[in-house]
Chain A
Amino acid sequence: MAALIEPSLAAALDRKMALRGKVEYTPSDVSLIAEQLNRFLTAQIGQGFEVRDLNALSGGASMEQYVFDLYRPNADRQLVKMILRMSPLCSVIETCRLREFQIIRAVAGVLPVPEAFWVSDSDEYFGRPALICSFNPGVASPKDGGGKATGLGTVYGKHREKLAPQYIRHLAALHTMDWRDKDLSALVIPREGTSDAVDWSLAHWDRVWDEDAVEAHPTIALARAWLWRNRPVVDHISLVHGDYRNGNFLFDENTDEITAILDWEAGYLGDRHMDLAYAMLPGYGTLEGGTYYCAGLVEKNAFIEEYTRLSGLSVDPERLRYYTVLNMYWAIIACCATGPKLAADRMTHLDTMMNIVPGLGFYFVNELNAILLEEQQHDADG
């Protein structure tokens, strides 16, 4: 029997396939977005508001985003800066706005996150799913430079020392929080002590590859077989961020306080090692002065030691290795299959970028080949 794909994620993939070959992306007219936004907000809060300074937001590789001020003269907070996050026609990673909305709300109060106000999970108001959250202050990377170290990720320079402990503390808090009393109805809860969460994740990414890849790839074929063969059980079900790395949080450059953890759309219930391995991926770290910093922030051993101390959860090297492979597997699929496929079909606002992202995917292919070689040698040694 084929493994389950979580229904909300399967629906997002179904939507992509239904659109494929039938429509191409056309730029949104800001006046149309304003009209849609007004209609949606009226349905949520009635009259007595005004949308001001609506503008497209640059940056990011998936969502189509607009920033605006919501003015409500009779509300406690008269002026709130907000972001409208809309699923593009198709995205390099198909996700679900309702999941994202529920996860942000679930972690509010535990971690610094944007305030999630409203979600439209259908095409009714915007022609596609969308959510509205607060625009949080802070920067994703230092404006005062810091240079480009060897490596691919954001370099934090003088800010690293204060940011690193917060980065680890927030991850530990996420993985130990009690999510069972939260509304996470869009997510399926895996059984503890089973490989449910892994099975669903593999089934999901296998489907994405099968639907999006233009040609076969040996590393994907080998990694897929290895991943199914070596599925670990999940000993403790955590809420997993799914994209916990440098560049996906905001901080105040003056105080070095993390002001918001962003990009929750890949979140799910599963194994903490998924986030840990992802945060340690070589593609996102930086090599500075001969020292390698995971996510540009912390050395690997110090990361594990502090995370273990704060969370009380163990970090198993074997599972860390498994989830390193799984993270590379999905990153390669998104970058090398989905990205160029979307560009070929003219289905995003980021066609040029979608042809560039395979560069990251093939970087991971090279890394993954090295791991697969070690595994083959390990097997050969018995």
Chain B
Amino acid sequence: MTPTVNQQLASMKASLERSVIPALPAEARFAQEQAGMIAATLAWLIDVQEFELRYERQEAADYYQLLADLAEIDGVEIAGELLSTPLLSADNSLAEIRKQSRELKQAAIAAAIKLDGRADAKLLAVAQRQSEREQAWFRMTGFTSSPAPGGIADVIGARA
């Protein structure tokens, strides 16, 4: 399929930077600021957009596992259908995978917090893995920790 989404994003960014931004009046500072942010966002999308589905699947897998681990702890009740429903495959739509990921996340975090500290270590371990993904996904926004995070492809690929 051509043009690819990345090619279209790159073309839009180039047009914006070559033709639109230089044509903005010098006194239109707000418009210039916004145009600069749009160009930066396009660069960011080029960096990550191919990985959104894999990102959500990995997030769903992390919380499915956490929920399964919590279910082993005495006194924890987990809604049965969440663990009996298999994780969605890459054949499913992004929206379906995201929905499953959010439901698992909501249930797992609520169950962990209810344990009054007993599952905090498990929850924090999941939080740290999630943070690695978040740092990689948002690295192009400029708010990066030290050492700088790797690309999202590397972070997701390392856990695939």
Contacts and interface: CB of A to CB of B under 8 A. Distances in A.
B29 to A, nearest CB: 4
Interface centre among B105, B110, B141, B142 (most CB of A within 10 A): B141
A365 B109 contact: no
Contact of B131 (A150, A152, A356, A369): A369
B124 A218 contact: yes
B27 to A, nearest CB: 8
Interface string A366-382: 11010011001001000
Given A225-B113, A359-B142, A376-B124, A366 B106 contact: no
Contact of B130 (A214, A218, A360): A218
Interface stretch (B33-41, B73-81, B84-92): B33-41
Given A58-B29, A215-B102, A362 B124 contact: no
A352 B37 contact: yes
Main secondary structure of the interface of B (DSSP, over half): helix
Main secondary structure of the interface of A (DSSP, over half): helix
A82 B130 CA distance: 46
Interface of A: 55-59, 150, 152, 214-219, 221-222, 225, 283, 287, 352-353, 355-356, 358-360, 362-363, 365-367, 369, 372-373, 376, 379
A360 B131 contact: no
A58 B37 CA distance: 13
Interface centre among A56, A218, A360, A363 (most CB of B within 10 A): A218
A356 B138 CA distance: 8
Interface string B6-25: 00000000000000000000
B149 to A, nearest CB: 9
B146 A215 contact: no
Given A216-B110, A356-B41, A362 B120 contact: no
Contacts, number: 97
A358 B143 CA distance: 9
Contact of B146 (A150, A352, A353, A355): A150
7 contacts: A55-B27, A222-B127, A287-B146, A356-B141, A363-B145, A373-B124, A379-B117
Given A57-B30, A217-B109, A218-B130, 8 more contacts: A59-B33, A221-B112, A356-B41, A359-B143, A362-B134, A365-B127, A369-B128, A372-B124
A134 to B, nearest CB: 20
A376 B38 CA distance: 41
Q: Size class of B's contact patch?
A: 35 or more
Given A359-B138, A362-B135, A363-B135, A218 B126 contact: yes
Contacts of A352: 34, 37-38, 41
Nearest to A224: B113
Interface of B: 27, 29-30, 32-34, 37-38, 40-41, 44, 102, 105-106, 109-110, 112-113, 117, 120-121, 123-124, 126-128, 130-131, 134-135, 137-138, 141-146
A59 B40 CA distance: 16
A90 B106 CA distance: 27
Contacts of A214: 102
A365 B134 CA distance: 9
Contacts of B131: 219, 362, 365-366, 369
Contacts of B109: 216-218, 221
B41 A216 contact: no
A164 B42 CA distance: 38
A92 to B, nearest CB: 14
Contacts of B143: 152, 283, 359-360, 362-363
Contacts of B41: 352, 355-356
Given A363-B144, A369-B128, A358 B105 contact: no
Contact of B124 (A222, A355, A360): A222
A198 to B, nearest CB: 20
